[in-house]
Chain A
């Protein structure tokens, strides 16, 4: 679960309760390594404009603004933060990059800094410092921070939103599963039993940018499939993909009717209404349930676990990453870098991480010690979000093409067509191959 439009947020309704209802444990000690920050000679009279995606949970905006104000108070640099709708952010970033005007710092989606790699500042020094101080960058942030195949950092990943399995504990027990299965066969059996007991599973197979891609990428990656190989050559037509499609078709039999039309918000609604017993989602749904007295009982019974692993025991869940970059066109590069450093330092970052209740999981190892992950032991599974070694466009270079494939729902529709029986797995994969080739040419 990842991209949710503002409309979806409205439908969820309870998102706003998050900030108010969260326990704020006293900041646990974040272990810090020895590192000296890169020298910052903030330009006199510097001002900054920052563009980032709009909040999904309230604290995301309030804490972010508070931290920014603190930066202004300490350095005298005026910072204006603009919040763009999730679907508007990419076009706005494109305009800034093309015109060389507008925001100095953009907290963009994962691939964007790579698309504009020649237009952004080198952040290697800063990333090196942060990595050294806070226990090293996790796998996914490393993948998206560094320019492909180099050690040069073009972006500073700030947080990732993951989508593990969310299920009803008592119904899983009723289905005979005291512990959550970690393999595909067990997972299928659990879903079959859930369905037999009247609590079907439900994963989005409609044109849902977030949930659809999350579920289908998991299916593909966890079976060893990939859209392209290391060189960026389309490699989706493989026995692994066929296996994934066959598995998806069996799993689809355990779904509630209508998942082919599901958007990003349907699974949240169906889960909250007790219509489904198992789905995949970000942490926000759990807090929405927990903070609403009418659904608190469901939250009590909600468990969260890793989706079945990829070969070699690797976690294979899709993550939506916030990736900050500084444009070369900024007049105050030092101030911009210093701003990012300030926001990533424990005093500020941990408040934000905790405030958001783990919605944006940390990119730096040391924050695993944050109180947010111990305050409610159930959400601990979100702690490791950014350790995933798969990425949108796996296993190829990060490029504009991977974004296009996701936006055109190529992988989602391959799985939807094969699951519903509209195409055989072989037909579905050939069609996906043809469409992917169009983007990777």
Chain B
């Protein structure tokens, strides 16, 4: 009898220690980090760095072509006593406020009109977009001619054709005329953006709601306040935020038409920051003016976010 001496050997998969690389790629934290890296890198390089540099410059006395030293709040201190700066702050807020109200009033009206069944609807919508498509500088130059002290078409029509006025209007030569003229140009440019965005919002509202309201005998005003307005609120909040940000940081219109004149009455913070920073060479002070815009912008964003976008029904819940 032969005793089997064979040992019973169970085959096992040879244990290979996982390589460092493999273990690395198995580790979740590492994967998260490496997947986020490109996005974070882009944000850091293209958003955080310029913003950080801008803020740093605001605390130095850097001059174009010459490095600067840290001077603390010196730039802000001198701005505090600078009438030109406060004039710019006032006009920026005024310009943004008035232009936004007008743009939304008129834009909403236009959107409601376009939402009706009109002949040539698509063509009309395309035409409405024109002011927004034209590069700002081009429309600014067109307005610049229309507001010219000597060659304004508006003055020409009023004085020479209709005979309603004796003298040409000095659109850009007196502070308040210039301020309102620029606001008019900004509103003209901004309406299409508001109108088309709100129109998109209007079209998402189901017609059946209106039909039901009609059956209940709701007037058109009631339909507007009870159906259109609340359902438009979410998109309104987004459009409003964007519009306020664009208007607050507007530069091209003012720079091309008045350069902040007459006597600084139409300087926006953005144009003043540029004028002091680049042609004037005072990079530090220019940056300080630009940084001063940040609190206003945060405030505006918070306002439209909290006041308009917080409603529960946006997340599908009931309102209140």
Interface, chain A (partner B; CB < 8 A): 7, 87, 90-91, 93-94, 97-98, 115-116, 205-209, 256-263, 266, 269-270, 273, 275, 400, 403-404, 407-409, 413, 416-417, 420, 422, 431, 435, 438-439
Identify which of residues 162-181 in chain B touch chain A, using a CB-to-CB cut-off of 8 Å. Answer: 167-168, 170-174, 178
Cβ distance A422 to chain B, nearest Cβ, rounded Å: 6
Q: Is B261 a contact of A116 with CB atoms below 8 Å?
A: no
Q: Does B83 contact A261, Cβ atoms closer than 8 Å?
A: no
Q: With A94-B65, A261-B170, A266-B149 in contact, is A438–B78 under 8 Å at CB?
A: yes
Residue of B150, B259, B282 near A258 (CB, 8 A) is B150
CB-CB under 8 A from B66, the residues of chain A are 115, 400
The listed residue (B82, B148, B178) touching A266 by CB distance below 8 A is B148
Contact A258 B83 (CB under 8 A): no
Q: Supply 22 A–B pairs (Cβ within 8 Å), ascending by A.
A: A87-B279, A94-B65, A97-B65, A116-B65, A207-B258, A207-B261, A257-B170, A258-B173, A260-B173, A260-B174, A261-B147, A261-B173, A261-B258, A263-B259, A270-B150, A403-B280, A403-B281, A407-B280, A408-B275, A408-B276, A420-B262, A431-B83
* Chain A residues with CB below 8 A from B64, complex form: 90-91, 94, 400
Q: Is B172 a contact partner of A261 (Cβ separation < 8 A)?
A: yes
CB distance from B308 to the nearest CB of A (A): 38
Q: Which residues of B line the A interface, CB within 8 A?
A: 63-66, 78, 82-84, 141, 147-151, 167-168, 170-174, 178, 258-264, 275-276, 278-282
16 extra A-B contacts, CB within 8 A, seeds A208-B259, A404-B276: A87-B279, A206-B258, A206-B261, A207-B258, A207-B260, A207-B261, A260-B172, A261-B178, A262-B149, A263-B259, A273-B151, A400-B63, A400-B65, A407-B281, A416-B261, A416-B263
- Please give, as numbers and ranges, the residues of chain A lying within 8 Å of B147 by CB-CB distance: 261
Q: How many A-B residue pairs have CB under 8 A?
A: 107
The closest CB in chain B to the CB of A414 belongs to B263
Q: Which residues of A contact B264 (CB under 8 A)?
A: 413
Q: A261-B171, A261-B173, A400-B66 are in contact. Are A90 and B279 (CB under 8 A)?
A: yes
A194 CA to B149 CA, complexed, in Å: 19
The reply to whether B65 and A259 contact each other, CB–CB distance below 8 Å, is no
Contact B263 A93 (CB under 8 A): no
Contacts of B258 in A (CB 8 A): 206-207, 261
**For the complex, what is the distance from the CA of A98 to the CA of B190, rounded to whole Å?**
40
For B151, the closest partner residue in chain A by CB is A269
When the two chains form their complex, are residues A273 and B263 in contact, meaning their CB atoms are under 8 A apart?
no
Q: Is B170 a contact of A207 with CB atoms below 8 Å? A: no
Which of A90, A116, A257 is in CB contact (< 8 Å) with B167?
A257
Q: Which residues of A contact B170 (CB under 8 A)?
A: 257-258, 260-261
Task: State in angstroms the CA–CA spacing of A146 and B118 once bound together.
Answer: 73
Q: A93-B65, A258-B173, A417-B263 are in contact. Are A407 and B168 (CB under 8 A)?
A: no
Nearest CB in chain A to that of B267: its residue: A207
- Interchain CB contact under 8 A, A257 and B173: yes
Given contacts A266-B150, A404-B281, contact A261 B262 (CB under 8 A): yes
Set of chain A residues within 8 Å of B65, measured between Cβ atoms = 93-94, 97-98, 115-116, 400
Smallest Cβ distance from A139 to chain B, in angstroms?
26
Chain A contacts for B151, CB-based, 8 A: 269, 273
Q: Which residues of B contact A209 (CB under 8 A)?
A: 279
| A-B complex: 4 closest residue pairs judged by Cβ atoms | A258-B149, A261-B172, A94-B65, A207-B259
| A270→B152 CA distance, assembly (Å) | 12
Q: How far is the CA of A413 from the CA of B82 in the complex (A)?
A: 14
Complex contacts, A263 vs chain B, CB 8 Å: 259
Nearest-CB residue, chain B, relative to A431: B83
Task: Tell me the complex Cα distance, A420–B262, Å.
Answer: 10
Considering the chains assembled together, what is the distance between the CA atoms of A408 and B281 in angstroms? 10
In the complex the two chains form, what is the Cα distance from A118 to B282 in whole Å?
Answer: 20
Asked if residues B83 and A256 are in contact (CB atoms below 8 Å), the reply is: no
Q: By CB atoms of chain B within 10 A, which of A266, A408, A431 has the most?
A: A408
CA gap between A259 and B84 in the complex, in Å: 21
Chain B residues with CB under 8 Å of A413's CB are 263-264
- Inter-chain CA distance A407–B282, complex, in Å, is 10
Docked CA distance A259–B64 (Å):
31
Residues of chain A within 8 A (CB-CB) of B168 are 257-258
- B221 CB to nearest chain A CB (Å): 44
**B residues within 8 A CB of A408?**
275-276, 280
Q: Specify which chain B residues have a CB less than 8 angstroms from the CB of A273 in the assembled complex.
A: 150-151
- Report yes or no: A439 in contact with B259, Cβ–Cβ below 8 A: no
Given the complex of chains A and B, what is the CA–CA distance between A115 and B150 in angstroms? 40
B262 and A260: CB pair below 8 A?
A: yes
Whole-angstrom CA separation of A97 from B281 in the bound complex: 14
Distance of A165 from chain B, by nearest CB (Å): 20
Contacts of A258 in B (CB 8 A): 148-150, 168, 170, 172-173
Are A275 and B78 neighbours in the complex by a CB distance under 8 Å?
no
What residues of A have a CB within 8 angstroms of the CB of B78 in the complex? 438
B280 pairs with A404, CB closer than 8 A = yes
B153 to chain A, nearest CB (A): 14
CB-CB < 8 A to A262: which residues of B? 149
In the assembled complex, the CB of B300 is this many whole angstroms from the nearest CB of chain A, namely: 28
Q: A413–B173 Cα gap in the complex (Å)? A: 13
Q: Is the CB of A261 within 8 A of B280?
A: no
Enumerate chain A residues within 8 angstroms of B275, measured Cβ to Cβ: 407-408
Which residue of A is nearest B147, CB measured? A261
Question: How far, in Å, is A413 (CB) from chain B's closest CB?
Answer: 5
Nearest chain B CB to A265's CB is how many angstroms away? 10
Tell me the complex Cα distance, A422–B282, Å. 28
Whether the pair B149, A256 counts as a contact (CB closer than 8 A) is yes
Q: How far is the CA of A413 from the CA of B275 in the complex (A)?
A: 14
**Residues of chain B contacted by A439 (CB below 8 angstroms):** 282
Nearest-CB residue, chain A, relative to B61: A441
B134 to chain A, nearest CB (A): 16
Q: Which residues of A contact B82 (CB under 8 A)?
A: 435, 438
Q: Which residue of chain A lies nearest to B84 when distances are taken between CB atoms in the complex?
A: A435
A360, B77: Cα distance in complex, Å: 43
Contacts of A435 in B (CB 8 A): 82, 84
CB distance from A217 to the nearest CB of B (A): 17
Q: How far is the CA of A257 from the CA of B147 in the complex (A)?
A: 13
Looking at A93, A208, A258, A273, the one whose CB has the most chain B CB atoms below 10 A away is A258
Closest to A115 in B: B65
Q: How far is the CB of A270 from chain B (nearest CB, A)?
A: 5
Q: Nearest A residue to B83 by beta-carbon distance?
A: A431
A206 to B84, CA, bound (A): 15
